[in-house]
Amino acid sequence: MEDPGSAQVRKAAFDWLKLQIARFGDTLSRTTLEQGFDFQGTRVRLVGPQGIFKPASIRYFPISITTTTKGPYQDSFDPDGNFLQYSYRGTDPEFHENRRLRDAMVNRIPLMYFFSTLPGKYLAVFPVFVVGDDRGRLRFTVAADDLLHLDYERDDADESLRRKYVTRQVRQRLHQRSFRDRVLRAYRETCSVCRLRHTRLLDAAHIVPDADEGGEPVVSNGLSLCKIHHAAFDGEYFGIRSNYRIVVKPEILEEKDGPMLRHGLQEINNRKIIVPRQFNQRPDPERLEQRFTSFAESADI
């Protein structure tokens, strides 16, 4: 059981984090998390130099755990994707930070989990609960839950199944968010078709769909597109040749409508998309050709 003062700080931290996500999206900067918020005249930070973090205003249990991971993140999940795996700090199970995290498991203390998707950027997942401790492998098992169950103090019949489901969703979000962040950074947060630079209106589109062979979540299989051009690309209103030139569907070029159709689609015909500065991050010509072949068949070109 957590002391009332610390529990009050923890609740305020969850409320503050919800507001930040509503304002900025679920990927937050490390600076934002390090600065934290003011609570009754005290600064409450959510992350620190070490992965297992407790702010001074909380007496004992950690408030967050942080993972800085490179690559596709498989090591952060069990083989079935039902649970997160979090390594001890060091190799001593009784090190004070490991012990506090273990005690958080026993006392069912809700935590925040921050995944690094890019240097200095973190996907926020909360609440999470420590549900297992493997001293032999020096790691904890962590399950995500939803906010509706944040205040539950005892087991409920559906808890295990619900947490597995929520954790699988977290895994999918993490992969999608990591792909988006890497693609948008490569394109300097600009739509490759229309040059729009409002980040919250941009998506990372797959050239070869992720369900198809060759649809890996790598930057060279991605395009930074605004939401309109993403929908138009997926809907095969236009295709992109291997030389980066845009081809708009003939029937769209012949259509008569308002300025959105004219400026948003018809005038991009034969224009070249912008590409990343780094050659190895540019769209893969073979993948573009594969996708364009599908478009050409659909457009009867």
- pLDDT computed for residue 249 by the predictor: 96
What phi and psi values does residue 144 have, to the nearest 5 degrees? Answer: -85, 155
188: confidence class by pLDDT, cuts 50, 70, 90:
very high
**Res 155 pLDDT > 70:** no
**Res 194 pLDDT > 70:** yes
Asked if residues 246 and 269 have their Cβ atoms less than 8 Å apart, the reply is yes
**Where in the sequence of the chain do the CATH 2.30.280 domains occur?**
4-182
Q: How far apart are CA 95 and CA 25, in angstroms?
A: 35
What average pLDDT is seen over the chain? 89
All residues at 6 or more sequence positions from 41 whose CB lies less than 8 Å from its CB, including other chains: none
Nearest 5°: CA angle at 194, between 238 and 179? 80
The average pLDDT across 144-149 equals: 63
- pLDDT computed for residue 83 by the predictor: 78
All residues at 6 or more sequence positions from 213 whose CB lies less than 8 Å from its CB, including other chains: none
Q: What is the pLDDT of residues 219-244, one digit of tens each?
A: 999 999 999 999 999 999 999 999 99
The average pLDDT across 205-229 equals: 93
The average pLDDT across 108-121 equals: 91
Q: What is the pLDDT of residues 260-290, one digit of tens each?
A: 999 999 999 999 999 999 999 999 999 999 9
The average pLDDT across 63-89 equals: 72
- pLDDT computed for residue 71 by the predictor: 39
**Res 174 pLDDT > 90:** no
- pLDDT computed for residue 145 by the predictor: 78
**Res 39 pLDDT > 70:** yes
- pLDDT computed for residue 133 by the predictor: 94
Instruction: Give 215-221 contacts, CB < 8 A, sequence gap 24+.
Output: 217/72, 217/175, 217/176, 217/178, 217/179, 219/182, 219/183, 219/186, 219/276, 219/281, 220/280, 220/281, 220/282, 220/283, 220/284, 220/287, 221/283, 221/284, 221/287
Radius of gyration of the chain (CA): 23
Q: How far apart are CA 164 and CA 265, in angstroms?
A: 43
Handedness of CA 111, 115, 120, 121 (dihedral sign): negative
Fold of 4-182: PUA domain-like (2.30.280)
3-state DSSP assignment of residue 143? strand
What is the helix (H) or strand (E) element at residue 10, kind and residue range? Answer: helix 4-24
The average pLDDT across 61-74 equals: 72
The average pLDDT across 164-184 equals: 80
All residues at 6 or more sequence positions from 123 whose CB lies less than 8 Å from its CB, including other chains: 26, 27, 114, 115, 117, 173, 174, 177, 178
**Res 113 pLDDT > 60:** yes
pTM: 0.70
Cis peptide before 285, with omega less than 30 degrees from 0? Answer: no
Asked if residues 122 and 106 have their Cβ atoms less than 8 Å apart, the reply is no
Least confident of 36-40, 87-91, 248-252: 87-91
- pLDDT computed for residue 149 by the predictor: 52
3-state DSSP assignment of residue 272? strand
**Res 157 pLDDT > 60:** no
- pLDDT computed for residue 72 by the predictor: 38
**Res 79 pLDDT > 70:** no
